[in-house]
Amino acid sequence: MENIGILKEILVQIFGFVIVFLVMKKFAWKGLLGAIDSRRHKIEAEFKGIEDHKASLAKLEKDYRARLENIEQEGRVKIQEAANVGIALARDIQDKARLDAQKTIDRAQAEIMQDVAKAKITMRSELVELSSLIAEKIIREKLDVKEHEKMVDQFVKDLQKI
C-alpha cells in the first residue's frame, strides 16, 4: 500500500509537470525561445563587432608600425641634413676666419710698411740734422770754400745712395 501512495504521488507530479509544460508551451515557450534567440543574436553580433574591432586594431597597429618606420627613416634623413648643414657652417666659419686672419695680416704688413717708411723719413731728417751739425762744425774748423764744396757734393752723393 505504501507503494500505491508513492505511485499516486509520482503520477500526480508527472501530470502536474505535463500541465505546466503544456501551459508553458502554449504561452511562454515562444517568448522564452524568442528571448533566447535574440540574446544569442545579440551575443553573436557583439562577437562579430569584437572581431571587426580586433581586425581594425590590427590594421591600425600595422599602419602605426609603418609610420614609426617612416618616422625613423625621416629622423635619420633629418639628422644627416643637420650634420651636413653643420659641416657647411663649420666650413663657412673656417673660411671666414681665414679671410679675417688674412685681412689682419695684410693690415699688419701695411702698418709695418708705413712704420718703416716713417722710420726712414725720421732717419733721413735726423741724418740731415746730424749732417748739418757736422757740416757746421767742419765749416767752423775749415772755412775753405773748395773743401766746403767737396764736402757738400760728397754729402749729396751719400744722400742719393740712401
How far is residue 133 from each of residues 5, 127, 153, measured CA to CA in Å? 173, 10, 16
Which residue did the predictor score with more confidence, 131 or 13?
Answer: 13
CA distances 153 to 43, 45, 124, 129, Å, are 132, 129, 17, 17
What per-residue confidence (pLDDT) applies to 141?
Answer: 64
Give dist(CA 91, CA 97) in Å, integer.
10
Phi/psi of residue 76, nearest 5 degrees: -60, -40
> Following CA atoms 40, 44, 50, 55 in sequence, which dihedral angle do they give, to the nearest 10 degrees?
170
Main-chain dihedrals φ then ψ at residue 142, nearest 5 degrees: -125, 120
The model's pLDDT over 29-40, given as tens digits with 9 standing for 90+, comes to 777 778 888 999
- Counting Cα atoms < 13 Å in the Cβ hemisphere of 127 gives 12
CA 24, 29, 31, 33: dihedral to nearest 10 degrees?
A: 150
pLDDT, averaged across the chain: 85
pLDDT tens digits, 43-83: 999 999 999 999 999 999 999 888 888 888 888 888 999 88
Is the model more confident about 77 or about 145? 77
Whether residue 108 contacts residue 99, with contact meaning beta carbons closer than 8 Å, is answered with no
* For residue 19, pLDDT beyond 90: yes
DSSP classification of residue 142: -
* Residue 155 near residue 124 (C-beta atoms within 8 A): no
Residue owning grid cell 562577437: 47
pTM summary value: 0.38
